[in-house]
Amino acid sequence: FRSEWIRRVRMEAKLGVLDVEEALKATRDIEKLFDLILSAALMRTGAEGAALFLLDEEGSELFVREAMGFDHLEEGTRIPIDGGVLSKALTTGRPQLVADLEQESPIEWDLVRMRSALLVPLEVRRRITGLIGVFSSKSGAFGGEDAEVMRRLAEEASAALESAQLLARLREEARTDPLTRLYNRRYFERRLRQELKRAARHHYLVSLAMFDIDGFKRVNDEFGHLVGDRVLRAIGQILKRGSRESDVPARFGGEEFAVILPHTSKQGALKYAERIRKTISSRRVKANSTTVSVTVSGGVATFPLDASSPEELIASADFALYEAKMAGRNCVRAAPEREE
């Protein structure tokens, strides 16, 4: 039903019969809420693309929460706040009109591949929490009237997002695993694609470390799933504390974990994985009237030495992990480099 709902909203917005403020207030479905905001932005301005950008918890990066009309812009894409037009809109708190992104703001041009842009801040409880942007392939596509239209839409959207708890939940749901508080697999895969694209463009190494708990079924069978969950949470804490800010630790699935290590050689990845392995093996987790400890096996692979795509890098690290299992578990192995 969602596709039909979107089609109807777009038609009503185009005909000018949609009361966006009332519709936003009435909408409880998060995805519909964002579809409504962006559909209204497209129809009110005649733009070809629209996106909702939210600030992360630290306020150091924006991430794409929803996007319409783009070939290059994906949900989950992260954008550093480092001086582009997005940054200017956030710091000034005012709408930003850009006639030619390629000339005036190459950062955003590389991101959206559209010529002109109009960005308006999204303010919740007197605090800027993100931006709504519309984009066009034509230079100078937007003017002052469009800026006023988008400013009003941002006010309406802000009213619907007034709850800070809702914003926190949106960010959390978009990228984290609820049990371990690590990044989830969906977000991990997006970040891996993005990181490898950047690495290929700027010629640096990206390593991937994968870990699997040895004999985890025994823990669940002997102590129960509640204890198993405690073990998973403990490993999540170790990975978060043992990783750099630029790393991306994630729960890959079940009892398997993966960590993206930008600007890291294979030797550096091996050292990291070995340190994590030792920390996990020394950790004791409360299990009813006793404690339990587990070990992990690890595998590492490096782009572009071992792989030329995200899928190949995951497969290479997973193969190295399999080799560690075959070597007796509780150890780390590196993928062999590809033959040219």
Q: How far is it between the farthest Cα atoms of the chain?
A: 70
Respond yes or no: is residue 255 known to be catalytic.
Answer: yes
Q: 304: exposed, middle or buried (C-beta count within 10 Å: 0-12, 13-18, 19+)? A: middle
CA 3 to chain centroid: 24
Q: Supply φ then ψ for residue 314, to 5 degrees.
A: -65, -45
CB 33 within 8 A of CB 24: yes
The CA–CA distances, whole Å, from 149 to 128, 142, 209 equal 18, 11, 48
**Residues making up the chain, counted from first to last:** 340
CB 20 within 8 A of CB 29: no
The active-site residue, picked from 156, 255, 256, 337, is: 255
State the sign of the Cα–Cα–Cα–Cα dihedral 176, 180, 182, 184.
negative
The CA–CA distances, whole Å, from 295 to 132, 210, 215, 221 equal 46, 13, 8, 17
Looking up tokens 């909203």 gives 9
Residues carrying an active site annotation: 255
